[in-house]
Amino acid sequence: MSLFDADRQRMDWLVVELNRHSTLYHQKNAPEITDYAYDKLYRELEDLEARRPDLRRPESPTQRVGGDVVAELPPFVHEVPMLSLSNAFRKEAPEWGGVWEELLEWEAGKPARPGGLRKLLGDDAPPVIRYVVEPKLDGLAMELIYEDGLFVRGGTRGDGVTGEEVSHNLRTIRNLPLKLENAPPGRMSVRGEVLYDLPGFEKMNTAREAAGEKRFENPRNAAAGTMRQLDPKIAGGRPLMFFAHSAGVVPPGVKSHWELLEHFAAWGFSVNPLNRRCDGIQEVIAAISELEQRRSSLDYEIDGAVVKVDSLEEQEILGFVTRSPRWAVAFKYPPPQVQTALRSVLFSVGRTGIVTPVAQLEPVRVGGVTVSNATLHNEYQMRHVHGLREGDRVIVQRAGDVIPEVAGVVEQPGREERPYITFPATCPVCGAALDREQSDDKKRSELYFYFCSNRLGCPAQLSGAILHFGSRLCMEIDGLGDKLVDQLVSQGLVRRPSDLYRLTQEQLANLERMGKQSAVNLLKAIDTSRGRTLDRVLMALGVRHVGESTARDLARHFGTMDVLMTADVVALSAVSGIGPAVSASVAEFFAHPENLAEIAHLREVGVGFVPLPQKATGGALTGKTLVLTGTLPTLSREAAKAKIEAAGGKVSGSVSKKTDFVVAGAEAGSKLDKAQELGVAIVDEGGLLALLGEA
Ligand SMILES: [Zn+2]
């Protein structure tokens, strides 16, 4: 026997043995060998594979962690659409109320109305309809494809027709079989749910906190985030699991859903141990109630139950209505709630300056996750709905995809003697006065939001303010994205928007993910933005209530920044289209010394506050949209733009079918290609002047 054959035999044996031990450990909870012995075999296989990569088997356990980083997540097209159950019965806490009647009606139908399983099945209805009740797993729906018993690829549900392929991450899930046992069909699509193991999730959060990283609040969102990572090592280090619950196409010969689940288990999938086969609706009711009782003690999250008609023949007869099966129905449990003590309320200031009250709690487990803070949403909820007082006990609730919230307050004797918790009058971060803004929602006129008025001087708002400053409708600084802004702010390079104009190439070159060419491009984009018109600078400064058209009205009316800065509320209100809220907020903006200082700084660094050309009506380009690209021989970008706008035309940043002309100069790039592709008219500078009647 040659040396190569010996390697092959040993490697094949190790793969089979390690996979068997892994199944015993992860799925059957019945290990035969110690972790140490397992690791030793695993390392032996790793060494052999490093020496003989040609003999590495696709189902090797090393493939769970060793995969390559992928460049992107390609689309994953479902051969049979992945439908969701639109039919959901919702239990309102704490009573089931009319839910059981609805379930009985689902089977029997209502008098004198079509519908009801029994009526639809007609003569095919058995005396007792058999169902399967399963926990509704609160995870991420997936489809896995197996060919000749080997896992080949898998993807997310997406919109039901196309999801994203995440095979590299699925491979890392310990209880997801890479190779099936017991004569599986040649080709198979298996559907199920990827979930976090909650004790593992808690451990991971503890470790993250110890390392100074942010906790994950919600296992389902964290699972979705993990599965979308490009580097499979991230998923490989996390406690995820997979439960199989259905098939894209049921393999031939299978007669019932329960039988399919039994096959899944035999082929090596984890099937949920709480699935129940039920004869008749009364057993279904018992199974749903039992599941709800066990919910809080499970190691993974469920948010309800699913009931399916067991017989595949009956499923076939019942069919679908719109995009939902008639033979299945979902039950939603109310979000889990617990009581805990309120320690204090923290007022957090978001990137837009909005102040949100957050309850700091005695840590408590809700639905398997430890919660130590919960949102109170806004002042109205805190003060008027809950009437929150110091020392209160609160009811905390955690629903699937929202952050934990305070759902109520526990009434206790003597409670009314304790003082109310008050909303601050000034920004807890910078001390500036708060602006009060009424909700847009007409039905909630009592609802107000509070914002820190110190838009440019408040540290909590800085990243948001800088990002907004450089955004497309404002100063339009290409390349100034959120990751870069966060770096500039955290390294202290940018403390206010005007600091952008003082950045040097050396400073930028030292940042992460910043090559020399991108630094040059960014500095060029920053330089170009010095020539933006007054209206765009006004928007960029983030004056509350001042959007695109208001900024234009103000710029046209007052002409220059100096005149606008000194306008009082009366003068502001005289501008057509400007209401009292806007004039008050503009006047207040210019009353703030920080803001005046920043306008002076912007002047110093050469930002021009270029006056808007007066509005032209009936100009040569009225109603036309033009796109500028490349360098024109004599006109600067700003001058060309001003001429077009003076003639009533609009200048857009991107080419679309609605573009009338693309004005192309030297070194025109992708915009020119796009124009050619879409058949948009292309002119040079001479052509533009001709359009303007200046040629
Ligand atoms: Zn502030």
What's the gap in Å between 447 CA and the centre of ligand 1?
Answer: 21
What's the gap in Å between 415 CA and the centre of ligand 1?
Answer: 33
What's the gap in Å between 473 CA and the centre of ligand 1?
Answer: 24
Distance from C-alpha of 408 to C-alpha of 388, rounded to nearest angstrom: 9
**pLDDT for 81:** 87
What's the gap in Å between 144 CA and the centre of ligand 1?
Answer: 49
Q: What tens digit of pLDDT does each residue of 99-148 get?
A: 888 888 889 887 766 678 988 898 888 999 999 999 999 899 999 999 99
CA 404 to chain centre: 17
**pLDDT for 494:** 93
Strands (E), 148-210: 150-156, 162-164, 187-196
Q: Hey, is 338 helix, strand or coil?
A: strand
What's the gap in Å between 429 CA and the centre of ligand 1?
Answer: 5
Q: What domains are defined for the chain?
A: 3-64 (1.10.287.610), 132-332 (3.30.470.30), 337-452 (2.40.50.140), 454-612 (1.10.150.20), 625-691 (3.40.50.10190)
Distance from C-alpha of 220 to C-alpha of 522, rounded to nearest angstrom: 38
What are the Cα distances from residue 357, in Å, to 10, 273, 389, 644?
A: 62, 41, 13, 48
How many residues would you count in the chain? Answer: 695
Distance from C-alpha of 311 to C-alpha of 319, rounded to nearest angstrom: 12
Catalytic site includes residue 136: yes
Q: Which residue has the tokens 């966060």?
A: 486
Question: What residues are paired with 302 via a beta bridge?
Answer: 137
What are the Cα distances from residue 199, in Å, to 175, 204, 215, 275?
A: 16, 9, 14, 22
**pLDDT for 427:** 94
What's the gap in Å between 513 CA and the centre of ligand 1?
Answer: 31
Distance from C-alpha of 233 to C-alpha of 172, rounded to nearest angstrom: 8
> Is the whole-model pTM more than 0.75?
no
CA 317 to chain centre: 39
What's the gap in Å between 396 CA and the centre of ligand 1?
Answer: 28
What's the gap in Å between 452 CA and the centre of ligand 1?
Answer: 5
What's the gap in Å between 401 CA and the centre of ligand 1?
Answer: 29
What's the gap in Å between 358 CA and the centre of ligand 1?
Answer: 17
CA-nearest of 404, 70, 26, 23 to 227 is 70
**pLDDT for 1:** 47
What's the gap in Å between 600 CA and the centre of ligand 1?
Answer: 21
What's the gap in Å between 346 CA and the centre of ligand 1?
Answer: 14
What's the gap in Å between 448 CA and the centre of ligand 1?
Answer: 18
What's the gap in Å between 601 CA and the centre of ligand 1?
Answer: 20
**Given 28, 110, 136, 524, which residue is catalytic?**
136
Alpha-helix residue ranges (DSSP H) falling in 301-356:
312-318
**pLDDT for 77:** 92
**pLDDT for 643:** 85
**pLDDT for 617:** 58
Mean pLDDT per 10-residue interval, the chain, length 695 residues? 71 89 76 84 89 85 73 89 75 70 86 78 90 94 95 91 92 92 92 93 87 81 89 88 94 95 95 96 93 87 92 92 84 86 93 90 83 91 93 87 84 92 93 86 81 83 90 92 87 92 91 86 95 94 85 90 91 84 88 90 94 70 87 86 83 87 87 87 89 78
What's the gap in Å between 589 CA and the centre of ligand 1?
Answer: 14
